[in-house]
Chain A
Amino acid sequence: MYRYDTKDQRLIDERAAQFADQMARHAAGELSADELRPLRLQNGLYIQRHGPMLRIAIPYGLLSAAQLRKLADITRRYDRGYGHFTTRQNLQLNWPKFEETPAIIGELAGVQMHAIQTSGNCVRNVTSDHFAGIAPDEIADPRPYCEIIRQWSTIHPEFAFLPRKFKIAVNAAGTDRALIRAHDIGLEVVRGEDGEFGLRVFVGGGLGRTPIIGKLLVDFLPRRHLLSYLDAVLRVYNRHGRRDNMYKARIKILVQALGVDEFRRQVEDEWALYRDGPLTLTDEEFARVAADFAPPAYAMVSDVAGERAALDRLAASEPGFARWLSRNVHAHKVAGYAAVTLSLKKTGVAPGDITAEQMDAVADLAERFSFGELRSSHEQNLVLADVRLSDLPEVWRISAAAGLATPNIGLLTDIICCPGGDLCSLANARSVPVAEAVQQRFADADALDKLGKLSLNISGCMNSCGHHHLADIGILGVDKNGEEWYQITLGGRQGNAATIGSVIGPSFRADEVPEVVEALVAVHQENAAPGELFADSLARIGSTPFRERAYAGRGRHIPEKRKAADGADHS
């Protein structure tokens, strides 16, 4: 992973000192609460329902074992002994003390970490594929691009006070696992006809109140132009994005208002000023950064078939291992290796939550079995990317003992879920208890496994941190006259064919949600061909039978088919 040199370290140290000074000036009455607010947000410090929350940056989801141990240590000494992994691959502490946050930031700087720009109207933590560097379908390793973007965006002098937040994601594989078309800028690493690396640039995607799939801005941007082009896009947005209405302030609204062709023209006009200038990325710089992501020293595995056969024998005698092997273990491009997902979706635990003890256990696992590194995924799980096939049984036993081996990756209970109204001050509704109720309804592991891949995502409000728009079944908490209700969408998809789900009709009470999910699943199972996925049966038979079953016997009017949520809020 990228290792700071003295320049990188000095910047992080100076940022920690700057934040400590800002907090001290605030305490002394020299900096008002309103003046401090944007500054603390740009260091990840929110004020939430019960007090402060600190969001720590995990650039593109990559962590070392030593960093994870430090995070465990911080949660023990400054918080309540646990943390929460977010859908943007970051880690949130829910119970820090306001006045201790400068000390936490200082501790983070000691392990090359920070909380810079994890909130605020600025360029946020860049996100990527949690299988970066090891995916068999990878065109290139996206992490050097991510790190170069991280450095470009860190304390960018021109773009600290944008109209609204700005999120960038990078994908470099055949399958998009980074939701690039649901980002303000989505970048896809591609190769030109002569083999040159470049980027396909999408702009103006995003979820939230106005979910929109990003539009193609450039089909092939040579790699050397990456930073000058990003500067140009951000310049146009910074100058012309709306600042009069925060709900209309994201770049997607500007792109929509101008049309992508006019937006592109304006970007190119700005870009002409910087193109081929000093911002041009040099091959030397790319190589310098890429060297830190060189593959680890993989063992030459001489008998891959034999190792696989041994796994199969264990699976035959241990159904739990068999299930874990089929759901939580993923293909690796190096023979004899696999990636392992450690599930943070055990029923009864808020999705994405992890205790300090579990963090230590994962750090140990990473050190013993995965070259000392791990990743967080936007699905709020952890990934050991480089595990020897022969080590899988031991990784399974240890992770199971730590409560991290729930064999549900990609299944209905692998719920993406925001912290919701229990903690977040934006939420309209609690999302965690709904997630748990659904998980309990689908407690039968065999039935769950048989159901196959099915995504269910829950957001506690329109800000859509739980990515409900992109799930097969999406659940959105809404407020109706002070009561918590839940709206259901169907047919969302992530990946290359990203699709915004459609609302099925009037919302449900919390206690109805598990039944409704069960009804939707039943319609699928009654109609599906063997092996057919929920998304595919839905696409084939249409949403009407699903809607009818969801509302059957509930004494509610079954609505006419609604148009997609995409068209709902373009005023």
Chain B
Amino acid sequence: MARIIRNSRVEDDAWTLLPKIDAAADAAQTPPAGPLLLPLDVWLAQREQLLARGEALGVWLDAADDPAAIAADLEHFTLLAVNFPKFTDGRGYSIARTLRERYGYRGELRAIGDVLHDQLYLLRRCGFDAFALRADKDAERALAGLTAFSDSYQGAVEQPLPLFRRRPAQPGEAV
């Protein structure tokens, strides 16, 4: 069973991640039982059959996917994930904020793909609350990355108020 970072610790994960449709090969293949994390194209293509399974569903978006494509479907998902093809591809940060702030998604939001220690703090600030670290990396060691900074200037998902709205009153200023 895969291990992921969730709730600020390393936990087991029961979800099965399906890759994108490989055109010829396995369109007809039956997905395994249990909770499924689906690529966007599979969800869009097989929506009714998937809902009929009656099991937990999630969708993962790739960096180029538009979160608007699932905006009306959020009630069906207990997990959303965003793939980082490379850790230097920052589109997923904007996708996460869009899912949280524009579409109001409240469930688990997981970073998958090239997810590394030094991005965890930024990812968390943008609304991710679960992190599937790249398989060759030590998730326990990476936990420290979640708290690289004690505060941030910007307002974002995890703390919507920018620092300037939270600074202590200046000396001599009326409170």
Which A residues are within 8 Å of any B CB, using their own CB? Answer: 5, 7, 10-11, 14-15, 18, 22, 25, 30-31, 35, 38-39, 121, 151-152, 154-162, 227, 235, 238-239, 243, 273, 277-279, 281-282, 285, 288
Interface residue? B110 (CB, 8 A): no
Contacting residues, chain B, for A151 (C-beta < 8 A): 153, 163-164
A5 partner residues in chain B, CB cutoff 8 A: 167
Q: Mark B138-175, 1 if CB is under 8 A from A, else 0.
A: 10010000001111111110001111110100100000
- Evaluate whether A11 and B151 lie within 8 angstroms (CB atoms) in the complex, with A235-B94, A239-B94 already known: yes
User: Can you give 28 contacting A-B residue pairs, CB < 8 Å?
Assistant: A5-B167, A10-B150, A11-B152, A22-B118, A31-B118, A35-B87, A121-B90, A154-B153, A155-B149, A157-B126, A157-B152, A158-B94, A158-B122, A158-B125, A158-B126, A159-B90, A159-B93, A161-B88, A227-B162, A235-B97, A238-B90, A238-B94, A273-B102, A278-B161, A278-B162, A281-B164, A288-B164, A288-B170
Complex contact A11–B165 (CB within 8 A): no
List A contacts of B167 (CB < 8 A).
Answer: 5, 7, 288
Q: B91 near A: Cβ within 8 Å?
A: yes
* Chain A residue with Cβ nearest B123: A157
Tier of interface size on chain B: 35 or more
Q: A18-B148, A279-B162 are in contact. Are A157 and B118 (CB under 8 A)?
A: no
Among A14, A157, A273, chain B packs the most CB atoms within 10 A around the CB of: A157
Cα–Cα, bound, A273→B155 (Å): 13
In the bound assembly, the distance between CA atoms of A238 and B138 in angstroms comes to 29
Report Cα–Cα, A243/B122, bound state, in Å. Answer: 20
Report the minimal beta-carbon distance from A564 to chain B, rounded to whole angstroms: 34
Produce 1/0 per residue, B88-112, CB < 8 A to A: 1111011101000110000000000
Chain A residues in 8 Å Cβ range of B89: 161, 243
- A313-B161 Cα distance, complex, nearest whole Å: 59
Contacts of B90 in A (CB 8 A): 121, 158-162, 238
Among the listed A22, A157, A160, A273, which residue makes an inter-chain contact with B101, where contact means beta carbons less than 8 Å apart?
A273
Q: Does B36 contact A (CB under 8 A)?
A: no
Query: Closest approach, in angstroms, between the C-beta of A116 and any C-beta of chain B?
Result: 11
Residues of B within 8 A of A239 (CB): 91, 94-95
Would you call A158 and B97 a contact (CB within 8 A)?
yes
Of all chain B residues, the one with the shortest Cβ separation from A231 is: B154
Closest CB in chain A relative to B109 CB, distance in Å: 14
Bound form: Cα–Cα A35–B117 in Å: 10
Cβ distance A151 to chain B, nearest Cβ, rounded Å: 4
Answer whether residue B116 sits at the interface, using C-beta atoms and an 8 A cutoff.
yes
A161 to B91, CA, bound (A): 8
A25 to B91, CA, bound (A): 26
Chain A residue with minimal CB distance to B161? A278
Q: Can you name the residue of chain A whose Cβ is closest to the Cβ of B170?
A: A288
* B contact residues around A159 at 8 Å (CB): 90, 93
Q: A18-B148, A38-B88 are contacts. A158–B153 as well, Cβ < 8 Å?
A: no
Residues of chain A with a CB closer than 8 A to B152's CB: 11, 155, 157
C-alpha spacing A146/B29, complex, angstroms: 57
Contact A35 B116 (CB under 8 A): yes
Closest to A160 in B: B122
Cβ contacts under 8 Å, B148 to chain A = 14, 18
How far is it, in angstroms, between the C-alpha of A282 and the C-alpha of B160 when the chains are bound? Answer: 15
Asked if B93 and A238 sit within 8 Å, CB to CB, the answer is: yes
Residues A11 and B162 in contact, CB atoms below 8 Å apart:
no
- Smallest Cβ distance from A43 to chain B, in angstroms? 11
- The reply to whether B94 and A7 form a contact with Cβ atoms under 8 Å apart is no
Q: With A157-B126, A160-B122 as given contacts, are A238 and B153 in contact (CB-CB < 8 Å)? A: no
Bound complex: CA A288 to CA B167 (Å): 11
Q: A121-B90, A159-B90, A239-B91 are in contact. List 18 more A-B contacts (CB 8 A).
A: A7-B167, A11-B152, A22-B118, A31-B118, A39-B118, A152-B162, A157-B123, A157-B154, A158-B122, A160-B93, A160-B119, A161-B89, A161-B93, A238-B90, A273-B102, A285-B164, A288-B167, A288-B170
Contact between A157 and B163, CB atoms less than 8 A apart? no
- Residues in A whose Cβ lies below 8 Å from that of B149: 11, 14-15, 18, 155
Chain B residues with CB under 8 Å of A7's CB are 151, 163, 167
In the assembled complex, which residues on chain B have CB atoms less than 8 Å from the CB atom of A227? 162
Q: Which 5 pairs between the two chains have the least Cβ-Cβ distance?
A: A161-B90, A157-B125, A285-B164, A157-B122, A151-B153
Q: Tell me which residues across on chain A come within 8 A of B118, comparing CB atoms.
A: 18, 22, 31, 35, 39
Q: Is the CB of B122 within 8 A of A152?
A: no
